Chain A
Amino acid sequence: MIPISHFMLISAGLFCIGLYAVLTRRNAIQVLIGIEFMINAAVLNFVAFGRYDKISGGGQMFALFAIVLAAAGVAVALAIILNVYKYFKSINPTKTDTLRD
């Protein structure tokens, strides 16, 4: 049996990769990919911890909901990014800065 710490290490690694992508990428789609990494890290954690919570199965349940919500979130974000491209001809978040102090 694979010990729980392995799952936690992998998920922590995934989360950090995702966060790094969010902070460094200069393309909104790539930022979304980074966010997806972070969500999947959490999902992995939930499923791994869910082993120890067989009766209510909260972890498995949460993982399912998180996957569905992540898909919904990406759909909304992609629609918005499409609109941004229409007006800016670019999806670089650093170049779209007409609003600032």
Chain B
Amino acid sequence: MNDLIPYIPSSIRDSLASLSFFSAEISLILGFLLVILADLFFSKRYPQLSFILALLTLLLVAYQSSGFLKIDSTPMFGGMIIMDHLSILFKLLFCLASILFVLFIRFNRAFQNHDKGFGDMYAILLAVHLGLNLMAMSANLLMVYLSLEMVSLGSYLMVGYLSTGQRQTEAAMKYALFGAVCSAIMLYGMSLLYGFTGTLYLNDPAFLSGLNSVPVMASGLALIMVFIGIAFKLSLVPLHFWSPDVYEGAPTPVTAFLSTAPKIAGFAVLVKFLEIFYDPGSKTLSSSMLDLNYILAFLAILSMLLGNFVAIWQNNVKRMLAYSSIGHTGFMLMALFIFSTSGFKAIIFYMAIYVIMNMAAFMIVDEIEEKTGKQNIDEYKGLGKQNSLLMISLLIILISLTGLPPTVGFTAKFLVFSSALEAYNLSGSAILLIMIMIASLSTVVSLFYYFKVPLNAFLRESPDPVKLSIRSAKVYMGIFLAFLLLLLIVFPSMLEQLI
């Protein structure tokens, strides 16, 4: 024990020096405490105080994070977390998703009328947001596990928060049990990785050399176990079973959040893991032990195919969007496959657009569900005639999700495809070509299910047409986001200069 004493002053100095880079997370922690206290003591007199505090905290966090945008790779807290440009971009994406989510809850009737109050939801959100930020920065297996669990526990609570009926509790139970199993498998994989390498730091050279010195079967098993935990968060195909059920059963704002922020954080962790195996010389993932390239490509192809084809048969809108988000995950995994600067630019741009599109789609779907109780696509008949502005915004969002002009979804898809083609021209790997072909095929397939909604809304007649009032904050937000999707194709530089 005594031989550790000389290290104490230096590690304390390091931790104190790290605190100045940790300001965004400190604000989150303070905001979390403030929201809890505000909800405890002032929820009777000022019911919206927790909402305002959460929103202000998130805006502050976005501002503080953007201050570090031009940062070089900075290890903090003894290398437990590493802050670099990419992690700041991820953090800004989380802020975008969380801010939209906070506004979404504010104007969701089920949450506002919940008899236990909605203040705790904001507190859970801020805790989850802290976990997301740490996920994007983690550089240590302990940090990866800790932050992933923070996000998972918060998400289970979010799904089960309202618990107003059978479906919501069932979704929460499925999510919690499946998630706990996946994280236990990941923990076991991490313990094996620790045993093989003797270190928990991902960027430690001993980590890769330790992995290379054990038989492929052993290191491959441990890595696959860790990837199971990450793939659960991403809802990649062999581990996607939970996502349609949970997305359908959960309250719609929570579905919108789950389909964006934790998924993006999963990608951030995946990048951290893949960076270990990235070989700058050959610009590919080094495949000396286990061919990660093929496994990832296989998962991406499966996700794209299954997500998009199964979505065709769905009648529930939320379920359809769940399957489509599995397809989008596969597509993003393809973008991740291109391990280069342009590949990262493309994927961040795609993710930002994906957050806007998904949030907007769920907002309008939620508005329709709230006012009319319609959840199925075939019930949307005739909605377009009566509520043209609302349904035209939904149409724009769906066009953007498909990836067609004149929306920015096209730009995002185009950037991914062009950087994939560029990578193919450089490497000439057949597997990349297959992925590009599958991706373009699944884009065509996605037309069929996305356009079922406007087909029903505009071209089919309904015996009893419903007129929705447009005067609702959620509709305004949905229309604004749809307009943003149109605007950004003219000015993509507004987003690009950030990246």
Q: Please give the residue numbers on chain A whose beta carbons come within 8 Å of chain B beta carbons, in ascending order.
A: 8, 11, 15, 18-19, 22, 28, 31-32, 35, 38-39, 41-43, 45-46, 48-49, 52-53, 55-56, 58-59, 61-62, 65-66, 69, 72-73, 76-77, 79-81, 83-84, 86-88, 93, 96-101
Minimum CB–CB distance from A67 to chain B (whole Å) comes to 11
Minimum CB–CB distance for A9 against chain B, Å: 13
Does the CB pair A66–B167 fall under 8 Å? Answer: no
Contacts known (A22-B181, A73-B153, A76-B176); A53 close to B171, Cβ less than 8 A? no
Question: How many B residues touch A, CB cutoff 8 Å?
Answer: 46
Q: Which residues of A contact B448 (CB under 8 A)?
A: none
In this assembly, does B212 line the interface, its C-beta being within 8 Å of a C-beta of chain A? no
B199 touches A58 (CB 8 A): yes
Asked if B110 is at the interface (CB within 8 A of a chain A CB), the reply is: no
A32–B142 CB distance below 8 A = no
Q: Which residues of B contact A15 (CB under 8 A)?
A: 188
User: Which of A83, A97, A101 is close to B169, meaning CB atoms less than 8 Å apart?
Assistant: A83
CB pair B191 A49 closer than 8 Å: yes
Shortest C-beta distance, B130 to chain A (Å), equals 15
Q: Which residues from chain A contact B180 at a C-beta distance below 8 Å?
A: 32, 35, 73, 77
Query: Would you give the shortest CB distance from B249 to chain A, in whole angstroms?
Result: 5
B203 to chain A, nearest CB (A): 14
Q: B88 an interface residue at 8 Å Cβ cutoff? A: no
Q: How far is the CA of A18 from the CA of B185 in the complex (A)?
A: 10
Further pairs besides A53-B199, A69-B149: 10, Cβ < 8 Å: A28-B177, A35-B184, A42-B184, A48-B195, A62-B141, A83-B169, A93-B173, A96-B170, A99-B244, A99-B249
In the assembled complex, 25 residue pairs joining A and B whose CB atoms fall closer than 8 Å, in A order, are A15-B188, A22-B181, A28-B173, A31-B181, A32-B177, A32-B180, A35-B180, A42-B184, A49-B198, A53-B199, A56-B200, A58-B142, A69-B146, A73-B152, A76-B153, A76-B156, A76-B176, A77-B173, A77-B176, A79-B160, A84-B172, A87-B170, A96-B170, A98-B167, A100-B245
Is B173 in contact with A84, judged by CB distance below 8 angstroms?
A: yes
Contact with A along B175-187 (1 / 0, CB 8 A): 0110011011101
Please name all residues of chain B whose beta carbon is closer than 8 Å to the beta carbon of A101 when the two chains form the complex.
Answer: 244, 310, 313-314, 319
User: In the complex, are the beta carbons of B173 and A65 less than 8 A apart?
Assistant: no
The CA-CA distance from A42 to B244 in the complex, in Å, is 30
Nearest chain A CB to B452 CB, angstrom units: 16
Which residues does chain B contribute within 8 Å of A65, judged by CB atoms? Answer: 142, 145-146
Query: How far is B185's CA from A51's CA once the two chains are assembled, in angstroms?
Result: 23
Contacts of B310 in A (CB 8 A): 101
One digit per residue, 1 when the CB lies within 8 angstroms of any chain A CB and 0 when it does not, for chain B 191-226 equals 110110011100000000000000000000000000
**Nearest B residue to A66, CB-CB:** B187
Flag if B170 contacts A45 (CB, 8 Å): no
Q: Shortest CB–CB separation between residue B353 and chain A, in angstroms? A: 28
> Does B367 sit at the interface, judged by CB under 8 A?
no
Structural contact, A96 and B188, CB atoms closer than 8 A: no
**Closest residue of chain A to B163, judged by CB?**
A83
| Residue of B171, B174, B191 touching A42 (CB-CB under 8 A) | B191
Most chain A Cβ neighbours within 10 Å, of B156, B183, B194, B319: B194
On whether the beta carbons of A61 and B142 are closer than 8 Å, the reply is yes
